[in-house]
Chains A and B, each alone.
Chain A
Amino acid sequence: MKELSLNILDIAQNSVKANASLIGISIDETDDVLSFKITDNGKGMTADFLSRVTDPFTTTRTTRKVGLGLPFLKMEAEMTGGSFSIKSKSETEYKEHGTEVFASFNKKSIDYIPLGDIIGTLCALVQGAENTDFIFNHKMPHGEVFLSTKEMRELLGDVPLGSPEVISWVREYLSEAYSAACAVD
């Protein structure tokens, strides 16, 4: 992937497919390290599947025998000297189930891939998952950006979250929030 935000989009799409009703995306950034955690309350994975999940030849795809999303992310994090972890509880074994993916990156590494268009990622997620809520926050050295689709839904009433008008609002809202959060630098 050319941007870490594309990995975030890819991993969060797995959460959507796991029938999560709530997905948390939090990015924590200092001058040296960027880490993110994606948590969901979806159906989770069994311990057996979890142990094979970063193997490219493990996939839920039905169209091909290769799945590259998680292996890519793990490699990209480890190449920078960062770390990767995944935890999951399957709905078949636990009442409180879901998955947590964590990755950290050393920003000073030559192999560090920039975060890129995180606003584009959030717009794509909100646009595509009518039955899923997202809680996003991004902590930066001088500010923070936050978005909750739960809060948005309360105000929108019957209007679908994925309406183009609403997505335009999300794009502008986040652009302004990022300008404000980065302005102190």
Chain B
Amino acid sequence: MKSLAELAAIRDKMKNKVALREESGETRIVVGMATCGIAAGARPVLSTFVEEVDKAGLNGSVAVTQTGCIGLCRYEPIVEVLRAGEEKVTYIKMTPEKALEVMEKHIKGGKPVVEYTIGNIEK
């Protein structure tokens, strides 16, 4: 049975990681979570990224954050990936399956999945 006491264990385990976290921010995954994003299916996309970052042990270098409506509601769920020194990549009409692929190829592999980007549609 899960208990609150386990949180103290998480704290102890992460003590030595805090230093690492502070110099993090190399990669940021931003998920649109306004009414439009939520209605289009952003919640499972967000949870996929959070879970996969945890599974891959990338907590120190990859931050998953949420944002409001950016005015492109017809393309929601929208995910932006920002990597230090690189141009921002905007993924549109995301699903948990696409999120897994972005995680593998872009976040871990460094190569954007061009197929799912807004540039690929708005040409």
Using Cβ atoms and an 8 Å threshold, which residues of chain A touch B50? 123, 127, 164, 167
A185 on the interface (CB 8 Å rule)? no
List CB contacts (< 8 Å) of B1-58 with chain A: 1-2, 4-8, 10-11, 13-14, 18, 33-35, 38-39, 43-44, 46-47, 50-51, 53-54
Known contacts being A120-B47, A127-B66, is A163 close to B59, with CB within 8 Å?
A: yes
Contact indicator A120/B44 (Cβ below 8 Å): yes
List CB contacts (< 8 Å) of A106-157 with chain B: 117, 120-121, 123-124, 127-128, 151-152, 155-157
- Please name the residue on chain B nearest to A70 by beta carbon: B35
B68: contacting residue among A1, A17, A121, A168, CB under 8 A: A17
- A-side interface size class: 35 or more
B10: contacting residue among A64, A67, A124, A156, CB under 8 A: A156
Contact indicator A124/B59 (Cβ below 8 Å): no
B14: contacting residue among A13, A159, A168, A176, CB under 8 A: A159
- Please name the residue on chain B nearest to A3 by beta carbon: B43
A78 on the interface (CB 8 Å rule)? no
B64 on the interface (CB 8 Å rule)? yes
A128: contacting residue among B7, B10, B65, CB under 8 A: B65
Known contacts being A123-B50, A151-B4, is A6 close to B43, with CB within 8 Å?
A: yes
Contact indicator A169/B11 (Cβ below 8 Å): no
B70 on the interface (CB 8 Å rule)? yes
B71 on the interface (CB 8 Å rule)? yes
* Interface of chain B, main secondary structure: helix
Using Cβ atoms and an 8 Å threshold, which residues of chain A touch B118? none
List CB contacts (< 8 Å) of A51-78 with chain B: 61, 63-64, 67-69, 72
B114 on the interface (CB 8 Å rule)? no
Contact indicator A164/B59 (Cβ below 8 Å): yes
Contact indicator B2/A176 (Cβ below 8 Å): yes
Contact indicator A124/B6 (Cβ below 8 Å): no
Known contacts being A1-B38, A127-B66, is A165 close to B2, with CB within 8 Å?
A: no
B113 on the interface (CB 8 Å rule)? no
Contact indicator B71/A64 (Cβ below 8 Å): yes
Known contacts being A157-B11, A165-B54, is A124 close to B46, with CB within 8 Å?
A: yes
Proximity bits, B60-74, A CB within 8 Å = 1, else 0: 000011101111010
| A-B contacts besides A159-B10, A159-B11, 7 pairs, CB < 8 Å | A13-B34, A61-B34, A64-B69, A127-B46, A156-B10, A163-B59, A164-B50
Q: Which residues of B contact A (CB under 8 A)?
A: 1-2, 4-8, 10-11, 13-14, 18, 33-35, 38-39, 43-44, 46-47, 50-51, 53-54, 59, 64-66, 68-71, 73
Q: Which residues of A contact B (CB under 8 A)?
A: 1, 6, 9-10, 13, 17, 61, 63-64, 67-69, 72, 117, 120-121, 123-124, 127-128, 151-152, 155-159, 163-169, 171-173, 176-177
